[in-house]
Every structure is written in structure tokens, then in C-alpha cells.
């Protein structure tokens, strides 16, 4: 073959590669196999179909099982775009810099093994970026950097998007960089429900967004069968295997409350409030005060930063039912006044305010306003002695009692356990979608129950406190009744303090003290 013929063949091949990324990857790209070393990129059918989708749609969200080679496929797509198109700006964002860097490394390996006549000249090559002389580049950053705030992007890749903290903020910023016609590829295994990735997937699946959805189940891989899947249960455990292999949102994420239970609440109990009050309309009411009922108001006070919320719940003590709720960004002083106002409206409800740091300012508002039913707690035995209190009028005279609920290393696991118990047994009645949304992303992180990174748990924690104290309130009531009965049973056994009037049969009216003042004692059993 002479030079003229060779040039003609090269030109023909170049044109084929430029038009067809599948052809380009199959014939000229090499990947790094963990066991076999460098091998040709032989695409499976599901990988080819996925690549066709990437070319045809600007926005794609991929729900994938583990170890299907989709990150490698994405790297190949980025390489194809950079090789055959000039001035393409590709950004990879992942939860960790190493994760994002790995995708750039895959691009680098493929680039290094291209034939010389296909390989663009590289003018910048470091661990986190690769830039060609034609102006095209790929760059990797972590979610902790100034993510998404960049010049116009040709392609944004969000790798393991379900695990990226503050991804809502990243996406809000990135959308502006894609406005000139850029593409977006979101890919991840599931990580529970209620987070941005889950919502994006559901919206795409229901046709309510610009995203094209692609689901890649483990069974698509031709080398895997049920034996392999059963082995994953043994290696990973059923829950993680369902997440990593079956693309199962509900069983993924290590949520404190089972996602199946939360979905049931959405279908059977959650509803719009009958009224939304306040300047911000964030005080929601499902049931107005009923003078025959006892209520509890539990509150969690914001830390005072821009990302945190103050929250409260109004709980019907007897029916264990959520009747009102607030969540908003409000000054501590105003929130303290709101707590008192709400508690007063709901029959002078028992008011429980979390007393950590800035919470004291809200509590002080209740004290300054002389609120009569403020919750106090043992200073020394914070989680043991709470059931021994009776009212703040008594507790305020006790040196070891402090106002508010103390969330400590001792009490936090207890209140979380109470929350899980009530939802597992489905004994609590919940109306709020906002609360359910928080519960979906309330997970165990290194054995600590907390909101997933980038989310908040203010409604959850205020409810936890309320449920714990609610049990205490009922126990106190039962103890009080028992104490009253015990007192009545011993009235006639000791030296008489109350002297009945001669000739009268009214056993509930007694002459009291040396003045023999008539007093009605029915209050003892009320």
C-alpha cells in the first residue's frame, strides 16, 4: 500500500470514527482490565445501546448496577468528543476527588494507546486534567470545590451522583454553564430515596423532566447469572446487594426508617395542611386546637447559619398524632416567641425546646414570658431522671433541673430509637410531606443517625424529642393517677387531717385545718 492509498484509508477510518463512537471505541480504544491488563474495549450490547442514548440526548440519568463498565464507557464518550470536536469543555464531578480523577485516568489510558494518526496533540496532562491542542479538555473536581461554577460546559458528568453532598446547589450552578447547549450525564447506584438523584430519576421516569432515563440492571451483563447474584448477597448482605446489583432505591441508603414504611405513610396519611400561616407560610396546621385534648410542642432551634432551620411539631399526646408543624429560617428570639404562641394556642401545651447552644435563647423567651408549662430536665441524670419531674413550677426550685431537652451522646440514641420504634410499629400519625422527605435522607453514617450530606434533619430531630418526652408525659400522668389513688386510700388510716362534718354523708367534702374550713376534694381524682 503506497502513501496515497494509506492516506485514503486513514481518512476513511478517521471519518468513520468521527461519525460513530461505537466504531471508534470498539476498534481503536484500549482499557485497563484489573486482571488482564490492557485489552481492547469490546463493548457489550447494553453498553452500545447506552452510548447511542448518550449521543441522541442532551440530558441522561443512568441508574446502574455495580461493575457494568459504565464509568469506562463514559470516559470513552468523553475521549471521542475531545478527539473529533474542538473546544469541548468537559467537567467531571464526584463526591471525592479520587473518584473524579479515576474517570480522567481512564480517558488518559485510552488516549495513550490510540494510533498516532488518531491521537490529538496533548498540551496539558496532569492527574486531574487532560487538554488537547484543539482546545478540548477534561477536568476532574470533587464536590467540595467550587463545583459547577465554571465557564460554559460542553459535557457535565456527575459520577455516583446519589452520594455527592449538596448536589442541589451544584446542579443549580451547573445548569447555567450548560445553557449554551451543553450535555449532562448523571450516573449512580442508588443511595436511598428522597435525595436529588432519586428525585431526578423519578421525574425522568415519569416524563416530568428533560432527562432521558437509562436503567442498567445486573442481569444485562452476559457473564452474570443467578449464581453470581446469590453470591453478592453473601458478600455484601441482602440490603447492599439490592442497592448495588438490583438498582433498588427503597432498600438502599441505610435509612433509619425503612423506605417501604415511608412510602406507605405517603400513600395513606400524608396530606396538605388545612392552613398555612406566617409571613413565610411555613407554619402548617392540620387540626386546630381541641379544648378536650392535651398537646405537646417539641422544638429544635437552628444553629444560626444560613443553611439551618428551626422546626417544631405539635403532637396530640393521647392519639400520638401530628396536628401542626413549623420549619423555617427565623431569628432565635422570634422562634422562641413562636414556640410560646403555638403552645399557648394548643391548650398551654407542654413546651419542649432543645437546649444546646443557641437553643437557650429561645428558652429564655419562654421564661421571660413566664410560660407555665415549660419542660425541665435533670442536669445530672439527663436521660434517666426526666420522668421524675412534674411541672416547671416545682422544677424551677430544684437546683439540678434545667429548662429544655438536652440532646447528648446518651440521649440521642434513645430518642432515635423511639422514633424508629414508632414508625416501625406505625403507631404515630404523620401528615407532613416535608417531614417524610427528611426521613428519607435520615441515615446511619458511621453508626450515627443524621441527615445525608447536603440535607437537613431539623423536623426529624424535633419529632424525636417530642416522641421521647411524650412517653414521659403519659408515664407521669399514670404515675400521678396512681399517686392520687394511693393518697385517698390512706386518708382514713393515719391521724385525721381532714375532719368530716358530723351528720353529712358527702365523702368528698371535708373540714380542713383548725378553722374547719369546708373544702371540695374531688380535685384529687381529676
pLDDT tens string 97-147:
888 889 999 999 999 999 999 999 999 998 899 999 999 999 998 876 555
- Does residue 217 surpass a pLDDT of 90? yes
19-37 burial code (b ≥16 CB/10 A, e <16): ebbbebbeebbbbeeeeee
Residue-level pLDDT at 34: 80
- Identify the weakest region by mean pLDDT among 177-181, 398-402, 502-506: 502-506
Mean pLDDT of 150-154: 81
Query: Which domain CATH number covers 295?
Result: 3.30.420.240
Task: Give residue 371's pLDDT band: very low, low, confident or very high (50, 70, 90).
Answer: very high
Q: Which of 258, 311, 255 has the alpha carbon at shortest distance from 461?
A: 311
Q: Which residues touch 275 (CB under 8 Å, ≥6 apart)?
A: 284, 285
The total domain count for the chain is 3
pLDDT tens digits for range 219-264: 999 999 999 999 998 888 777 788 888 887 766 567 788 878 888 9
Cell numbers found for residue 526: 381529676
Q: Give the N- to C-terminal CA distance of the chain in Å, as an integer.
A: 107
Q: pLDDT band for position 303 (50/70/90)?
A: low
pLDDT at 379 over 70: no
Does 170 lie in the same domain as 34? yes
Same domain as 236, residue 266: no
Is residue 264 domain-shared with residue 241, that is, in the same domain?
A: no
Average pLDDT, the chain: 83
Looking at the structure, tell me whether residues 429 and 325 fall in a common domain.
yes
Spatial distance between the Cα atoms of 236 and 306, rounded to a whole number of angstroms? 39
- The Cα–Cα gap between 381 and 363 comes to 20
Q: Is the dihedral of CA 117, 120, 121, 125 positive or negative?
A: negative
Percent of the chain with pLDDT over 90: 49
Beta strands in 26-152 (DSSP E): 30-33, 37-40, 59-64, 89-94, 122-126, 129-132, 137-142
What's the CA gap between 469 and 405, in Å, rounded? 9
The verdict on residue 194 lying in a domain is: yes
Do 104 and 175 lie in one domain? The reply is: yes
Q: What per-residue confidence (pLDDT) applies to 251? A: 60
Q: Would the pLDDT of 375 be above 80?
A: yes
Would you say 299 and 324 are in contact if contact means Cβ atoms under 8 Å apart? Answer: no
**Roughly what angle, to the nearest 10 degrees, separates helices 70-84 and 45-56?**
50
Give the number of other Cβ atoms within 10 Å of residue 520's Cβ: 10
Given 246, 278, 306, the domain boundary residue is 246
Report pLDDT for 512: 53
* Domain boundary, last residue among 246, 270, 291: 246
C-alpha cell at 236: 455484601
Judgement on whether residues 333 and 431 belong to the same structural domain of the protein: yes
Bridge partners of 311, per DSSP, are 300, 327
Per mean pLDDT, which range of 74-78, 137-141, 437-441 is the poorest? Answer: 437-441
Asked if residue 292 belongs to a domain, the reply is yes
Task: Flag whether 508 is in a domain.
Answer: yes
Question: Do 170 and 263 have their domain in common?
Answer: no
Confidence of residue 357 (pLDDT cuts 50, 70, 90): confident
- Mean pLDDT across 76-99: 93
State residue 488's pLDDT score: 52
d(CA 29, CA 445): 40
Residue 477 has pLDDT above 80, yes or no: no
Report pLDDT digits (tens) over 256-271. Answer: 888 788 889 999 999 9
**Contacts of 351 by beta carbon, 8 Å cutoff, 6+ apart:** 297, 299, 339, 340, 343, 366, 371, 373, 374, 375
Span 83-105, average pLDDT: 91
Is position 252 within any domain?
Answer: no
Q: Please compute the mean of the pLDDT values over residues 422-446 and round it to a whole number.
A: 90
Domain holding 205, by residue range, is 3-246
* Distance of alpha carbon 403 from alpha carbon 395, whole angstroms: 9
Let me know whether 171 and 30 are in one domain: yes
CA–CA dist 416, 257 (Å, integer): 10
Same domain, yes or no: 211 and 353: no
Q: What percent of the chain has pLDDT over 70?
A: 82
What would the grid cell of residue 414 be?
434513645
**The three grid cell numbers given for residue 481, joined into one nine-digit string:** 393517677
Q: Are 166 and 230 part of one and the same domain?
A: yes
Average pLDDT over residues 350-372: 88
pTM over 0.75: no
Residue 479: its pLDDT value, please? Answer: 60
pLDDT at position 478, please? 60
**Residue 277 falls inside a structural domain:** yes
Q: Is the pLDDT of residue 37 over 80?
A: yes
Q: Is residue 361 part of a domain?
A: yes
Helix, strand, coil share of the chain (percent; to 5): 40, 20, 40
**Within a domain: 43:** yes
- Whether residue 350 contacts residue 296, with contact meaning beta carbons closer than 8 Å, is answered with yes
DSSP string, 292-313: TS-EEEEEE---SSTT--EEEE
Q: Quote the pLDDT of residue 494.
A: 44
Q: With a cut of 50, say whether residue 525 has pLDDT above it.
A: no
Q: Pick from 359, 454, 514: which is nearest to 168 by CA?
A: 454
pLDDT band at 526 (very low <50, low <70, confident <90, very high): very low
State the CATH number of the domain containing residue 62: 3.40.50.300
pLDDT at 522: 54
496 falls in which pLDDT band (50, 70, 90)?
very low
User: Which of 246, 274, 308 is the endpoint of a domain?
Assistant: 246
Rounded CA-CA distance 386/388 in Å is 5
Q: Are 258 and 424 in contact (CB under 8 A)?
A: yes
The residue among 126, 130, 135 whose CA lies nearest residue 107 is: 130
Place of cell 399517686: 483
Eight-class DSSP state of 369: T
* pLDDT confidence of residue 307: 59
305 and 157, same structural domain? no
Determine, yes or no, domain membership for 122. yes
Query: Residue 202 pLDDT more than 70?
Result: yes
- Same domain? For 240 and 375 the reply is no
Amino acid at each position: 500500500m503506497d502513501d496515497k492509498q494509506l492516506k485514503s484509508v486513514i481518512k476513511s477510518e478517521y471519518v468513520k470514527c468521527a461519525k460513530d463512537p461505537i466504531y471508534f471505541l470498539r476498534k481503536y480504544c484500549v482499557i485497563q482490565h484489573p486482571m488482564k491488563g490492557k485489552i481492547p474495549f469490546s463493548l457489550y450490547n447494553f453498553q452500545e445501546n447506552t452510548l447511542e442514548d448518550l449521543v441522541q440526548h442532551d440530558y441522561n440519568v443512568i441508574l446502574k448496577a455495580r461493575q457494568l463498565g459504565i464509568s469506562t464507557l463514559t470516559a470513552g464518550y468523553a475521549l471521542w468528543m475531545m478527539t473529533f470536536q474542538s473546544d469541548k469543555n468537559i467537567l467531571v464531578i464526584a463526591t471525592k476527588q479520587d473518584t473524579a480523577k479515576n474517570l480522567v485516568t481512564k480517558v488518559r489510558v485510552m488516549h495513550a494507546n490510540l494510533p498516532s494518526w488518531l491521537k490529538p496533540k496533548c498540551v496539558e496532562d496532569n492527574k486531574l486534567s487532560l487538554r488537547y491542542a484543539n482546545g478540548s479538555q477534561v477536568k476532574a473536581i470533587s464536590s467540595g470545590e467550587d463545583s459547577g461554577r465554571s465557564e460554559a460546559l460542553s459535557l457535565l458528568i456527575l459520577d455516583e451522583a446519589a452520594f455527592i453532598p449538596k448536589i442541589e446547589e451544584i446542579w443549580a450552578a451547573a445548569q447555567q454553564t450548560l445553557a449554551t447547549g451543553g450535555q449532562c450525564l448523571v450516573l449512580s447506584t442508588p443511595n436511598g430515596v428522597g435525595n436529588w438523584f432519586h428525585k431526578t430519576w423519578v421525574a425522568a421516569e415519569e416524563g416530568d423532566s428533560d432527562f432521558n432515563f437509562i436503567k442498567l440492571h445486573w442481569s444485562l451483563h452476559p457473564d452474570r447469572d443467578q449464581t453470581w447474584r446469590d453470591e453478592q448477597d453473601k458478600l455484601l448482605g441482602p440490603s447492599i446487594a439490592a442497592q448495588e446489583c438490583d438498582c433498588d432505591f427503597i432498600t438502599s441508603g441505610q435509612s433509619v426508617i425503612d423506605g417501604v414504611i415511608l412510602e406507605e405513610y405517603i400513600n395513606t396519611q400524608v396530606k396538605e395542611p388545612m392552613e398555612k400561616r406566617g409571613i413565610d407560610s411555613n407554619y402548617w396546621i392540620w387540626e386546630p386546637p381541641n379544648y378536650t385534648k392535651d398537646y405537646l410542642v417539641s422544638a429544635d432551634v437552628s444553629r444560626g447559619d444560613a443553611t439551618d432551620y428551626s422546626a417544631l411539631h405539635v403532637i396530640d399526646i393521647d392519639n400520638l398524632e401530628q396536628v401542626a408543624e413549623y420549619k423555617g429560617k427565623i431569628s432565635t428570639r422570634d422562634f422562641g416567641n413562636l414556640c410560646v404562641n403555638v403552645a399557648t394556642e394548643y391548650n398551654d401545651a407542654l413546651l419542649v425546646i432543645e437546649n444546646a447552644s443557641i437553643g437557650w435563647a429561645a428558652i429564655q423567651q419562654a421564661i421571660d414570658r413566664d410560660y407555665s408549662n415549660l419542660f425541665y430536665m435533670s442536669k445530672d441524670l439527663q436521660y434517666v431522671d426526666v420522668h421524675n419531674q412534674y411541672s416547671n413550677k416545682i422544677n424551677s426550685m430544684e437546683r439540678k433541673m434545667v429548662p429544655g431537652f438536652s440532646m447528648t451522646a446518651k440521649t440521642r440514641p434513645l430518642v432515635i430509637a423511639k422514633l424508629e420504634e414508632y414508625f416501625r410499629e406505625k403507631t404515630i400519625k404523620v401528615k407532613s410531606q416535608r417531614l417524610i422527605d427528611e426521613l428519607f435522607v435520615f441515615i446511619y453514617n458511621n453508626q450515627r443517625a443524621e441527615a445525608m450530606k447536603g440535607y437537613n434533619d431539623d423536623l426529624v430531630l424535633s419529632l424525636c424529642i417530642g416522641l421521647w418526652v411524650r412517653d414521659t408525659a403519659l408515664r407521669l400522668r399514670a404515675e400521678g393517677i396512681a399517686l392520687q389513688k394511693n393518697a385517698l386510700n390512706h386518708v382514713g388510716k393515719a391521724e385525721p387531717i381532714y375532719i368530716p362534718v358530723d351528720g353529712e354523708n358527702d365523702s368528698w367534702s371535708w373540714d380542713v385545718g383548725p378553722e374547719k374550713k369546708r373544702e371540695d376534694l374531688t380535685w384529687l381524682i381529676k
